Amino acid sequence: MVDLQPDQLRALEAIAATGTFDAAARELGVTPSAVSQRMRALESAVGQVLVRRGRPAELTPPGQVLVRHARHLALQQADVLVELGIAGPAGARATAPDAETPDPLPEITLVVSGDALTTWALPALVEASGWARLEVLREDEEHSIGLLRDGTAVAAVSSVAEAVPGCRSTLLGRMRYRPMASPRFVERWFADGATHEALAVAPVLAFDRKDDLQERYLRARLGPDPAGPPRHYVPASHEFLRAIEQGMGWGMLPDVQSAAGERAGRLVGFDDARAVDVPQHWQQWRLHSSSLDRVAAAVARAARAALT
């Protein structure tokens, strides 16, 4: 039977987290040679290449499987220490573990979209920070799936309903997006309404090149290749909102973000009939973890309070 050694698994996880053997060694408080020896021993034990050496180092598919396993073990061990009453927020501050002893607080890596962080998810994360160390990765809903699949994250808020293998998926609610612009922008570009001709030339604002909400709206209005209007990109949710309010372009905004601007007269919905509902699903690994389940419950409560 293959015996997976904890120190070898921690070395593999550190390489995945930091990207190099040298950085992994610093993370673990050992020499780069020790990390290399542990990786050779682990690869020999499983009979497969786990890491492609380079800068950065890349996990092979078997390496990704073992990293998920390593992170499962670390999370479950932290939960056990909390359950035994020998770890937790107070205990973690009182005890200074050595370099290779896992932090007694559970460490949870989540993927959350910028819009969700800005509009409804942050209160849940603040609540969860009381019992876990959180690393929040900002990624578009659909692109968060890859981070779950390769083991980088243990949970994600995603628009994708189908569960990633090894995960379960739960619908949290829906964010309704509408095409929005400043009143002055509407007066200039859409004086006669959101016509085919106006949409073909009015400047468009997108979050980044992976943001396809505006493209989905334009395809519905202009056809399969809406290449005409110029695009601007502002990759931060708050600044994206401000750029629309100041007339840089029109863009799709969720109601939970645009409501205050509409009430104040800074924003106008110019084609409400073409709203786009984006589902918000919570996907998390299938493993027994009380801390991860508590995070899931906090996220679900925040979603119920804010989403449709």
pLDDT tens column, 72-110? 788 877 777 777 777 655 444 434 444 444 456 788 889
The token duo for 279 is 């589902």
Which CATH architecture does the domain made up of 175-278 adopt?
3-Layer(aba) Sandwich (3.40)
**pLDDT for 39-48, tens place per residue?**
889 988 888 8
Domain boundaries, the chain: 61-173+280-306, 175-278
Of 13 and 142, the structure prediction assigns the larger pLDDT to: 13
Written as one letter, the residue type at 204 is V
User: What's the rounded Cα separation, in Å, for the pair 153 and 180?
Assistant: 33
User: What's the rounded Cα separation, in Å, for the pair 156 and 283?
Assistant: 5
**DSSP assignment, residue 201?**
T
Beta bridge partners of 158: 281
Of 70 and 190, the structure prediction assigns the larger pLDDT to: 190
Exposure pattern of 134-161 as b/e (b: 16+ CB <10 Å)? bebebbbbeebbebbebbbbbbbbbbbe
Most confident of 7-11, 29-33, 200-204: 200-204
User: What's the rounded Cα separation, in Å, for the pair 41 and 56?
Assistant: 21
Tell me what pLDDT residue 245 has: 98
Beta bridge partners of 121: none
* pLDDT at residue 151 greater than cutoff 80: no
Do 61-173+280-306 and 175-278 come out as alike in CATH topology? yes
Q: Average pLDDT for residues 260-283, to the nearest whole number?
A: 94
Most confident of 58-62, 146-150, 261-265, 288-292: 261-265
| 167-181/251-254 β-pairing | antiparallel
Tell me what pLDDT residue 38 has: 92
Residue range 61-173+280-306, CATH number: 3.40.190.10
Give the list of residues 6+ apart from residue 241 with CB closer than 8 angstroms, or none. 253, 257, 258, 261
User: What's the rounded Cα separation, in Å, for the pair 199 and 192?
Assistant: 11
Q: What is the pTM of this model?
A: 0.74
Greatest extent of the chain over all pairs of C-alpha atoms, in Å: 74
Tell me what pLDDT residue 89 has: 55
How much of the chain, in percent, has pLDDT values that exceed 70? Answer: 92
CB 79 within 8 A of CB 63: no
**pLDDT for 164-184, tens place per residue?**
888 899 999 999 999 999 999
> In which band, very low, low, confident or very high, does the pLDDT at 153 lie, cut at 50, 70 and 90?
confident
* Average pLDDT, rounded, for the chain: 86
Tell me what pLDDT residue 201 has: 94
Specify the range with the lowest mean pLDDT, choosing from 24-38, 212-226, 254-268. Answer: 212-226
Most confident of 16-30, 49-63, 64-78, 216-230: 16-30
Tell me what pLDDT residue 104 has: 61
